[in-house]
Amino acid sequence: MDVVARDGVAKLGAVLRTEQIERVLRWLEAREAENDELVKDLQPEFDVSSDGRRRLGRIRRLFWSDPRFWADIFERSRILELAVDLAGPSATLLFHTAFMKPSSFGSEVTLHQDDGVWPWDLPYSITMWMALTPSKVTNGCVIGYPGSHRNGPIPHVLKDGTVIDKRTGMRPRSWPSIPSSRFNDTPVPYELEPGEAVAWHHYFVHGSAENHSGIDRKGMAVVFTDASRPGFHRPDFDYAGRRMEPLSVAEIKALARG
């Protein structure tokens, strides 16, 4: 898509229909109701309030935990069509994550490039982020810097000032980020209605603020790459050491059709 090539980011309009949003929200609510033992395969991260309340903040590996359910959602929505448009004819699903950002105490995601926090080299990768509830400035929508992808990889640092260079094989235990002082202007907010999406280049600098509102900001992200391009190497293991299972668009369609 020309806009992503130019700006590093583009709004995509409606990607999910109302009935699909409702199905996905029910699926996520069921995961929230499960105990820690049942949800652990989704590599959960929790947000905790000042008074000790705990809610899911992020879960991963959604597609692989329930392939038939998600394959149907992907095929009946615009996800696969857009994946091919954005990543290329050999678009391959690498990651599928839900971001729950609960009301009142949903945590910040500091500025970063996806490529800067992945421990793998994944050229030609595109992230598609879909809103499941209203995603506004007031509840922590995605923010970012159009054109920032043109700078290529930017050094990420830890809170103690340690610079992370994944070329050395260093894998930090905490989330590295890009200092906001690197930029002279304020980031652009990407507000979305439920079902709408925004896509970005793997070097696009983005993040999201805390959610101090009374409304959850739920969304999900999928990452596709063109596996046919030179330089792509299939990652073997994910963050938790589980074997990765990339899926082509054709394989996802086959799962949807049983």
Enter the pTM of the model.
0.94
Cα separation, 135 vs 103, in Å, equals: 12
pLDDT band at residue 103 under the 50/70/90 scheme: very high
Read off the pLDDT of residues 208-237 as tens digits, 9 standing for 90 and up.
999 999 999 999 999 999 988 887 777 888
Read off the pLDDT of residues 129-178 as tens digits, 9 standing for 90 and up.
999 999 999 999 999 999 999 989 998 988 877 877 665 555 555 678 99
Domain limits, the chain: 2-217+237-256
The pLDDT value given to residue 159: 81
Count of helix runs (H) and strand runs (E) in the chain = 8, 14
CB contact at 8 A, 89 and 44: no
Q: Can you name the residues that pair with 59 across neighbouring β-strands?
A: 98
- What is the enclosing helix (H) or strand (E) of 72? helix 67-76
Topology of domain 2-217+237-256 in CATH is: Jelly Rolls (2.60.120)
Measured between alpha carbons, how far apart are the two ends of the chain, in Å?
31
